[in-house]
Every structure is written in C-alpha cells, then in structure tokens.
Structure 1
C-alpha cells in the first residue's frame, strides 16, 4: 500500500491548507494519476 501511496505524494513537503487544497483540485481534475 505504501508504494501505491507514494505516487500521490505532493511535490512540496509544505503542508499548508493552500497546498492541500491545490492538490485536491488537481487530483479531482484528473491531473494526478
């Protein structure tokens, strides 16, 4: 499971609300696979 989750690791180690929101939007738009 850990190997599958690494592909969803954000580019930045910075976990701010803005980064998480941006990541969620990109994921929902299908830009992250």
Structure 2
C-alpha cells in the first residue's frame, strides 16, 4: 500500500523547489512496484 513511484517522485520534485536546501531522493535497492 502506498503511492506509485512516479507520482511520489513528482511530488518530491515539486516540494523540493520550495525548500532552501538541496535535496536528494533515495530509493531502496529491493523496491519493486506492484
């Protein structure tokens, strides 16, 4: 249960634009999208 990977990445990209610091998105190695 959760958010699809592409939707989460887009949401984080938009949120990162509002932050005054650099951001990095980390994905677990064993992540699989069902």
Q: TM-score range by the shorter chain?
A: 0.3 to 0.5
Q: TM-score, normalised by structure 1?
A: 0.41
Query: Is the radius of gyration larger for structure 1 or structure 2?
Result: 2
Name whichever structure is richer in helix by fraction.
1
